[in-house]
Structure 1
């Protein structure tokens, strides 16, 4: 009986030891990752490194492009500024080029006047109007820039008429100079000129002298001209 009990006890101890060893072996097996998963993890890390390097390169390229864009924008602004300056210079040059010349009648022949009061003359046949400062519809010259201007006018009338020929230059409401002629026979002419300092907004025009009349035809005897000498 004692032998039997001892043998059973030995078997039980051996069995427990074997179970413990198996459990430890199982635990070790669970703790280790499967062999086929380890290469995949390394691949993912390699891909992440490549992506990180690619992103860094793209950031560098973006900074380079941003710098180039800034430089191009600065150059574009500089060119736009230069164009603006050129346009201003062109405009100033055009303003400094002012000249006109016109005759009294646009076509045909005949007299203008007489009238009892001073009457503004409209020189309708315009042959030169650089700067568009003279208006043939009103007969008024308006200076586009402050400066010194010179004006000339010529009048004519056939003789044998009671009425004289006369035209007076006005600056705004100021009587400047008069051209006047009265011939009882033959053809008569007269002329005059004036140099004026004008401001922007002034007006210059000719008025027919009261009870006078002017003659004009295809030869254009009666004319009005002016031009800018220099700016001030």
Structure 2
């Protein structure tokens, strides 16, 4: 009986040591392997000039001319940024439009929830607006820009309409 208790204690110690070693290894691996760097910047049109809208529904804007896409978290096919890791991210966007009605109104959207608007509304000429936000995102959260219903957005080879974002730090 004493031999069985001694063996049980030894097995228990082995289990504790194995679990502790595994936890320590996990921490060391997380410290040694850097989190992927994440940053992107894109403009609305790949080439040429054009106006999108007015459309009678919210429309996800797809920024097709990608200048940088470090970490490949932005999709130029859908216009959606998907957070690869939990962390603080910063996004900014610039909206350009021609004078007249309706103006350009664009919303920064996180997981379908409206965050901030950027707009360009004036009676004549050209104008621009901008906005930005720092957001806490979970891995898999999505961020994108939506053109507001019954609004329009204009772009040309000068690439006035841009959407950019980057990971500030993982959490």
Cα distance in structure 2, aligned partners of 1:195 and 1:101: 16
What 5-or-longer segments of structure 1 have no aligned partner? 1-84
Write out the 4+ residue segments of structure 1 that deviate beyond 4 Å after TM superposition: none
Cα distance in structure 1, aligned partners of 2:59 and 2:161: 15
2:34 partner SS: helix
Cα distance in structure 2, aligned partners of 1:188 and 1:115: 20
Task: Show CA shifts across 1:157-190 (max 9, x none).
Answer: 111x221101101100211000012111111110
Cα distance in structure 2, aligned partners of 1:94 and 1:228: 10
Task: Show CA shifts across 1:37-67 (max 9, x none).
Answer: xxxxxxxxxxxxxxxxxxxxxxxxxxxxxxx
Q: Provide the aligned length of Structure 1 versus Structure 2.
A: 143
For residue 218 of structure 1, the aligned residue among 144, 157, 160 is 157
Structure 1 position 94, deviation (Å): 5.4
Structure 1 position 147, deviation (Å): 0.3
For residue 184 of structure 1, the aligned residue among 123, 133, 143 is 123
Partner of 1:165: 104
Task: Show CA shifts across 1:9-43 (max 9, x none).
Answer: xxxxxxxxxxxxxxxxxxxxxxxxxxxxxxxxxxx
Contact 1:163 1:213 survives alignment (8 Å): yes
Contact 2:55 2:151 survives alignment (8 Å): yes
Contact 1:148 1:231 survives alignment (8 Å): yes
Contact 1:165 1:213 survives alignment (8 Å): yes
Cα distance in structure 2, aligned partners of 1:174 and 1:94: 27
Q: Structure 1 residue 149 and structure 2 residue 92: aligned?
A: no
Q: Under a length normalisation based on structure 2, what TM-score does the superposition of the two structures give?
A: 0.80
For residue 98 of structure 1, the aligned residue among 38, 41, 46 is 38
Structure 1 position 99, deviation (Å): 0.2
Q: Structure 1 residue 117 and structure 2 residue 57: aligned?
A: yes
What 5-or-longer segments of structure 2 have no aligned partner? 1-27
Larger Rg: 1
Structure that is richer in strand per residue = 2
Contact 1:94 1:131 survives alignment (8 Å): no
Task: Show CA shifts across 1:128-165 (max 9, x none).
Answer: 00000000000000011110000000000111x22110
Partner of 2:134: 195
Give the CA RMSD over aligned residues.
1.5
